[in-house]
Chain A
Amino acid sequence: NSKVIQTPRYLVKGQGQKAKMRCIPEKGHPVVFWYQQNKNNEFKFLINFQNQEVLQQIDMTEKRFSAECPSNSPCSLEIQSSEAGDSALYLCASSLGGGQLYFGEGSKLTVL
């Protein structure tokens, strides 16, 4: 059972709508990742944080996507204006380091 908690499990949005997903990382894990997994099972790294600070992010997340990991609050990933191509499974993972990531079950976004 995942100790990384992601909510909601499913969300359905119309094009142009905001979509927001939340993630509670495993307790004590300083590093948090967001990945997008499309219907072809392809993973795309979006962004990672260490102790609330952004470490790396791809260009995509600098435009319509925003993410934050405030202290004492869930991390979040928000899409400002959803597009059909954003339909995917969004995975949050946390880590103590060393490359072992602990994944949540994901938030499945469908953009109609």
Chain B
Amino acid sequence: GDSVTQTEGQVTVSESKSLIINCTYSTTSIAYPNLFWYVRYPGEGLQLLLKVITAGQKGSSRGFEATYNKETTSFHLQKASVQESDSAVYYCALGDNTNTGKLTFGDGTVLTVKP
């Protein structure tokens, strides 16, 4: 089956400090999975943060970056300098290449940015 592991359930970082949220994946059914980071801000619905569909490529959005590493099966989320408004729940996910395929999500990481 498919699985996504986020090792940190909760992360607290001071404003302007750097951030890394770890994500590793495993799949037995998808040769070339697509990888995603979704985010849920307080009071809002889950929304796409960034997406990478090609191994070796990097995706970026709102100052966040993640590189699709097929060798280590990882897709860690990083930001050089976080802001208080980045406080949210972040979910790593993988999906197949079909247009209708479902996503498999990690359990999420709650990020709290302290002023």
**CB under 8 Å from chain A, chain B span 31-71:** 34, 36, 38, 44-48, 51, 53
The answer to whether A1 touches B51 (Cβ under 8 A) is: no
Q: Which residues of B from 84 to 115 have beta carbons under 8 Å from A?
A: 89, 91, 95, 99-105, 107-108
Chain A, interface size category, equals 20 to 34
Choice from B45, B95, B99, B107 contacting A105 with Cβ under 8 Å: B45
Q: Does A48 have its Cβ within 8 Å of any Cβ on chain B?
A: yes
CA distance A42 to B100 in the complex (A): 21
The answer to whether B45 and A99 touch across the interface, beta carbons within 8 angstroms, is no
Asked whether A106 lies within 8 Å of B48 as measured between CB atoms, the reply is no
Closest residue of A by beta carbon distance from B105 = A43
A-B contact count (CB 8 A): 56
Chain A residues, CB < 8 A from B38: 101, 103
Which of chain B's residues has its CB closest to A31's CB? Answer: B100
Q: How distant is A76 from chain B, measured CB to nearest CB, in Å? A: 19
Nearest-neighbor residue (CB-CB) of A105 within chain B: B45
Task: Give the total of B residues in contact with A, Cβ under 8 Å.
Answer: 22
Q: How far is the CA of A48 from the CA of B101 in the complex (A)?
A: 9
A41 to chain B, nearest CB (A): 4
Given known contacts A31-B99, A55-B100, is B36 in contact with A99 (CB within 8 Å)? yes
Of B51, B101, B107, which contacts A42 at CB under 8 A? B107
